Amino acid sequence: MGEEKETRHLNILCLGAGGFIGSHLSARLLSAGHHVTGVDIHAEKLGEVASHPRFTYLPHDIRMAGDKLDALVAASDLVIDLIAHANPGLYVSRPLDVFRLNFNENLKIAECCVRHSKRLIQFSSCEVYGKTVASIIPESLVNPEDPGLAHFSEDTTPFILGSIGSHRWIYSCAKQLLERVLHAHGLAGELNYTIIRPFNFIGPRIDYLPREHEGVPRVFSHFMGALLHGGTMPLVNGGLQRRCYSYIDDAVDCMEKIVENRDGICDHQIFNIGSPDNEVSIRGLALLMQELYLEHFDGVAAALPPLSEIDAEKFYGPGYDDSDRRIPDISKASKLLHWKPRYSLRQTVTESMRYYVECERRA
Ligand code: NAD
Ligand code: UGA
């Protein structure tokens, strides 16, 4: 008889389970047979997950969880921490809240894991890498089109952030400091952690559309809102900045392998998760969404929202700065986890759009 590896079913504490990534990840963990306790102040994105027999939803505000958090960590086999303010609009309008939640509160979670010797999967961000070398060196000395300059690798690439007055970087800095603290606990032999740096995931339930709530959601939701409800597709500083977009299902495939952690391969490791082949400028994304809207969703050319250029300070307020370009080096995830993303840019954007179009038609 062939040797069959049995998957151990874990009691997983998923903090931020009600968010975009958390809701998709929780669904996958339940399918894999695990028990999930999901903590979040919001439950709307959980959908069918909320009524799954192996899912428990706790509507705790992590800032006030205190002893409850300690007891939940003690009772779990694995802690996954996704809680954060994750919209650039907030980094600019509420920098102190971003620091308090994304560093102080996340630190308390890590300390509970140290106290109870629990494995922690911490969600960080590709924003820790900041800007490219090409953006701070005179163009005459470098070729800004060289993808090598923006190819970010977990264990070798240094981080380049803007000045203190550009307070957008408080998010990146808080995430970076948390990573450094986890690493130091690891060095002291007190914590088994894995850090995930997501690179622009999109898919169903990312953010809200602008008309539905106050604030500035991430760019995909802005453009989707304009396609469905009218208005313009605003291109901040002309939309020349570039991003690599990953479909959430691809990303969750990788996360599942990190949870599995065969032979402890992810212990004390940092993983980029992203789709290096899916790079596009923000202007290119707007045009692609227009094209796909006509091709797949019965859009009418005459009714497409126009692109509009807007100055970053006007759009976000003072203190905004930007990453010009970021391409994930995923060779570590590919080598250690045998993972590669499957969705092309067109598929990623089409499937993400499909969800919002169908929601609109059902409404
Ligand atoms: P999200 O905003 O959808 O999820 C965060 C969740 O945390 C939300 O559901 C929110 O309600 C919850 N939360 C906030 N404050 C809380 C509190 N006080 N108590 C309890 N719950 C609280 O964001 P996301 O896109 O799912 O991101 C999840 C994680 O991944 C974050 O740490 C984010 O920084 C990181 N990340 C995401 C991306 C991406 O592409 N989506 C990229 C880089 C990093
Ligand atoms: C985001 C957030 O910081 C986090 O969710 C996360 O850490 C990270 O990306 C990620 O997903 O990996 P960013 O990519 O800058 O950062 O997020 P968006 O708000 O989606 O902006 C992307 C680009 O589009 C930026 O250059 C922004 O200026 C621009 N933009 C945004 C527009 O041109 N128009 C808009 O309507 C909104």
Query: Per-residue confidence at 142, pLDDT binned at 50, 70, 90?
Result: confident
In percent, how much of the chain has pLDDT > 90?
87
Q: Cα(66) to centroid of ligand 2, in Å?
A: 33
User: What pLDDT does residue 194 have?
Assistant: 98
User: What pLDDT does residue 40 have?
Assistant: 98
CA atoms of 159 and 128, how far apart (whole Å): 6
Cα angle 108, 213, 306 (rounded to 5 degrees) comes to 125
User: What pLDDT does residue 6 have?
Assistant: 59
Q: Whose CA is nearest to atom 22 of ligand 2?
A: 219
**pLDDT tens digits, residue range 170-179?**
999 999 999 9
- Lowest mean pLDDT, pick from 27-31, 206-210, 262-266: 206-210
Query: Per-residue confidence at 363, pLDDT binned at 50, 70, 90?
Result: confident
User: What pLDDT does residue 159 have?
Assistant: 96
Look at residues 271, 238, 230, 235 and name the one whose alpha carbon lies nearest to residue 254. 271
User: What pLDDT does residue 1 have?
Assistant: 37
Q: Nearest bound ligand to CA 19?
A: 1
Quick check: CB of 242 below 6 Å from ligand 2? no
For 127, the token pair is 């924003």
User: What pLDDT does residue 209 have?
Assistant: 77
Q: Cα(219) to centroid of ligand 2, in Å?
A: 6
Q: Cα separations (Å) of 284 from 123, 187, 202, 324? A: 28, 43, 16, 14
Q: Cα(13) to centroid of ligand 1, in Å?
A: 15
Phi and psi at residue 234, to the nearest 5°: -75, 130
User: What pLDDT does residue 2 have?
Assistant: 38
Q: Which run of H or E residues covers position 362?
A: helix 345-362
**pLDDT tens digits, residue range 345-360?**
999 999 999 999 999 8
Would the pLDDT of 322 be above 70? Answer: yes
**pLDDT tens digits, residue range 39-69?**
999 999 999 999 999 999 999 999 999 899 9
Active site residues: 171
User: What pLDDT does residue 191 have?
Assistant: 98
Of 42 and 210, the structure prediction assigns the larger pLDDT to: 42
Atom of ligand 2 nearest to the CA of 199: 12
User: What pLDDT does residue 210 have?
Assistant: 75
Quick check: CB of 322 below 6 Å from ligand 2? yes
User: What pLDDT does residue 148 have?
Assistant: 85
Quick check: CB of 199 below 6 Å from ligand 2? yes
